[in-house]
Homo-oligomer: A and B are copies of this chain.
Amino acid sequence: MVALQHEPSGRDRILGAARDLFAAHGFHQTSMAELAAAAKVSVGQIYRLFKGKEDIIDAIVANDTRDREAMILALQRRLDAGEISIERTFELLLLEMMDNPHEALSFDILAEGFRNERVAQIIADMCAHFRKSLGDFATIANPALSGKALEGAEEIILACMFGLGHRSLSGSALSAECTARQAADMLVAALRAMS
């Protein structure tokens, strides 16, 4: 029973250390020995919990996906309850996307998505999930949207979320708050103008 009680904390420590090391040096440039040292566990313990580095990346992506889905669902609930406007919903969504302390890791993960079928599948599933919620948001902004117009709108909101969520290399002078507010207003105006 002791092992069972300790496993979750060992697992979380490994995932936390992996996130930091992968972000700083890259996924492929981090060895299991470095990871074990940073997580204060043995290499053997890592291999008891994960099949290998790819399995750790899978777990990180799955965690991030769960967090983001929960964030979107929480926004959707507040929107449905009439607590926040559709503009404010997009604004908060974009602010969450821009609050990305591990952008470098996120690029490594995306690159990995092209070389690792499982990671690609997790990313595609996450996007499909996002798209459903974004479609709901888009039809709240413009109830007339349907079919290809709605699909396109979902895709473009997703692109905007993704682009703004990876803006730190572009060297923008504008604050995240200002950008999110303006992008939200632009999205709602664009959605309302669609037929």
Contacts and interface: CB of A to CB of B under 8 A. Distances in A.
Interface of A: 23-26, 28-29, 103-105, 107-108, 110-111, 113-115, 120, 123-124, 127-128, 148-149, 151-153, 155-156, 158-164, 166-167, 169-174, 178-179, 182-183, 185-187, 189-191, 193-194
B156 A182 contact: yes
B115 A25 contact: yes
A190 to B, nearest CB: 4
User: What is the interface of chain A mostly: helix, strand, loop, or mixed?
Assistant: helix
Contacts of A179: 152, 155-156
A30 to B, nearest CB: 10
Contacts of A151: 172-174
A26 B149 contact: no
Nearest to A124: B171
B183 A194 contact: no
13 contacts: A107-B110, A113-B169, A124-B169, A148-B174, A148-B178, A155-B172, A155-B174, A156-B160, A156-B164, A156-B183, A159-B159, A185-B194, A193-B193
Nearest to A128: B171
A190 B123 CA distance: 29
Contacts of A185: 193-194
